[in-house]
Amino acid sequence: MDARQILKDHITKTVELTDAQFDGFYACFKHESFRKGQMLIREGDAVTREYFVLSGCLKTYFMNDELRMTILQFAMPTWWASDYDALYNRHPAAVIVDCVANAEVLSISADDREKICHEIEAIGHFFRWRTNRGYAASQRRLLSLMTNDTKKRYEDLLAQYPTLFQLVPKHLIASYLGVSRETLSRLYHSSR
Amino acid sequence: MDARQILKDHITKTVELTDAQFDGFYACFKHESFRKGQMLIREGDAVTREYFVLSGCLKTYFMNDELRMTILQFAMPTWWASDYDALYNRHPAAVIVDCVANAEVLSISADDREKICHEIEAIGHFFRWRTNRGYAASQRRLLSLMTNDTKKRYEDLLAQYPTLFQLVPKHLIASYLGVSRETLSRLYHSSR
DNA sequence: ACAAAATTGTGATGTAAGTCACATAAGACC
DNA sequence: GGTCTTATGTGACTTACATCACAATTTTGT
């Protein structure tokens, strides 16, 4: 399926658009490819764009002073990724976005987005809805982290994204779950 | 300061509005009062409104099957609170919002909000910005939970909201920090 | 003002998971 | 295809924090 159709399917799940409206929206995007290991956003960058994943996988993460990585999100196809705090408030990037598995993405600038939101009310609604959904997902993750033990979180992740375990190295999954790679390894082998 | 002025100051920090526009916006709100212990949103409720805190304090939290509470957020003056997942996606409420210290709030329905966002572009921008800010705050909290130890999280909270410790009981703060009340008590007394 | 309920402090004990250390296995690069 | 790097498995030891138990204090309702 081509980029255009993937985006169209994605957005029409939430709002209705005329063909002309979708054309205007699609024209805001730039098609880009990234190879495993490439960075889309570096720490300290001025962030101007956000990314819609067509294929492959990205991750957004934070690096602390001791060079320890904490993964905030894996972005699989039809997910969006950026440093939204930096993008919206024009701060330098605090989080890093890079490519975990060779990826095709569509990117849009914050300015173009604001403009198209202004022109087409349905797009404005879509982005409010999408940001809201991201917020809800972030809260669910917080909740899961605070109420479930590691084993439960691991099993939930496995159930929700079975393909993730083939796609990305285990120490990244450990980082996402908030445990050491050793603990994940033991967990992984104790339950079969 | 009156409710009208508090909301006006809050919103004009982000967007510019004419007096007529602000009047239209303010007319969407209902002024309400809640006493300590009262619930604004119960688990399972149909959620129709969100709340802007003028004074006092609310908390949003989740109750698990063993009746253990996990606090997602304290809402102090000029903060917003609701179950946004439920509100936006018309699910029954999963989280509870109640009153921690006698509070005055302004409330607005999701429908009125969508309508005013449609009518006044600046308001639409404001709400995209605000949701985005909430999302960023949620991510920062996740990060803090995953990278900092309990003592650091406690000190950060203390630094950010010194008044919170007078306003709400310590076991609620413990729940917010994700530690047992006993651990918080020991921490609290070890560092003076 | 008094009883009942909620909040807080503190000791003793158990345990999940971090850290360190090293071995093995799998990919990446030329 | 062989070397170098990255990823993974596993044991030994340590530790922060949960849990349980009970006492002391504060707040709230009537």
Residues written for chain B: 192
B65 pLDDT tier (thresholds 50, 70, 90): confident
pLDDT value of residue B191: 58
Asked whether residue A183's C-beta has any atom of DNA/RNA strand C within 7 A, the reply is: yes
Is the pLDDT reported for residue A66 higher than 90?
A: no
pLDDT above 70 covers a percentage of chain A that reads: 99
Q: Looking at residue B192, what is its pLDDT?
A: 43
pLDDT at A161: 87
**Which percentage of chain B shows pLDDT scores above 90?**
73
B118 contact A CB<8A: yes
The pLDDT value recorded for residue B75 is 94
What phi and psi values does residue A188 have, to the nearest 5 degrees?
-60, -35
**Cα–Cα dist B10/B122, whole Å:** 14
Residues 6+ apart with CB under 8 A from A141: B142
Tokens of B183: 């651990």
User: Per-residue pLDDT averaged across A23-33, rounded?
Assistant: 96
Q: Tell me, what's the pLDDT at B57?
A: 94
Task: Give the mean model confidence (pLDDT) for residues A143-150.
Answer: 91
For B104-121, write each residue's pLDDT tens digit: 999 999 999 999 998 998
Distance B186 CA to C8 C1' (A): 11
Q: What is the pLDDT of residues B12-61, one digit of tens each?
A: 999 999 999 999 999 999 999 999 999 999 999 999 999 999 999 999 99
The mean pLDDT value for B169-187 works out to 94
Residue B134 C-beta-side C-alpha neighbours within 13 Å:
28
The nucleotide lying nearest A171 (C-alpha to C1') is D7
For residues B3-12, give the mean pLDDT.
97
- Chain A closest CA to B87's CA: distance in Å? 10
C-alpha to C-alpha distance for B93 and B47, rounded to whole angstroms? 6
Smallest CA–C1' separation from A36: which nucleotide?
C28
Dump the DSSP string for A98-165: EEEEEEEEEEEEHHHHHHHHHH-HHHHHHHHHHHHHHHHHHHHHHHHHHHS-HHHHHHHHHHH-TTHH
Other beta carbons within 10 angstroms of residue B105's beta carbon come to: 26
Tell me which residue of B42, B73, B182, B36 sits closest to A135, measured CA to CA.
B73
- Average confidence (pLDDT) over A91-120: 94
Q: Taking all residues of chain A, what is their mean pLDDT, rounded to a whole number?
A: 92
Q: Are B52 and B103 in contact (CB under 8 A)?
A: no
Residue A30 to residues A105, A123, A154, B80, Cα–Cα distance (Å): 8, 17, 36, 35
Q: Residue A67: is its pLDDT beyond 80? A: no
Query: Do B100 and B60 touch, CB atoms closer than 8 A?
Result: no
The shortest C-alpha distance from A71 to chain B (Å) reads 9
B92: number of Cβ within 10 Å: 12
Measured CA to CA, the distance from residue A97 to residue A91 in angstroms comes to 15
pLDDT bin (cut points 50, 70, 90) of residue A191 is low
Which band of pLDDT confidence, cut at 50, 70 and 90, is reported for residue A192? Answer: very low
Q: Which residue of B has its CA nearest to A146?
A: B178
Considering only residues A66 and A48, tell me which one the structure prediction assigns the higher pLDDT.
A48
Residue B141 has pLDDT above 50, yes or no: yes
Give the residue-averaged pLDDT of A35-60. 94
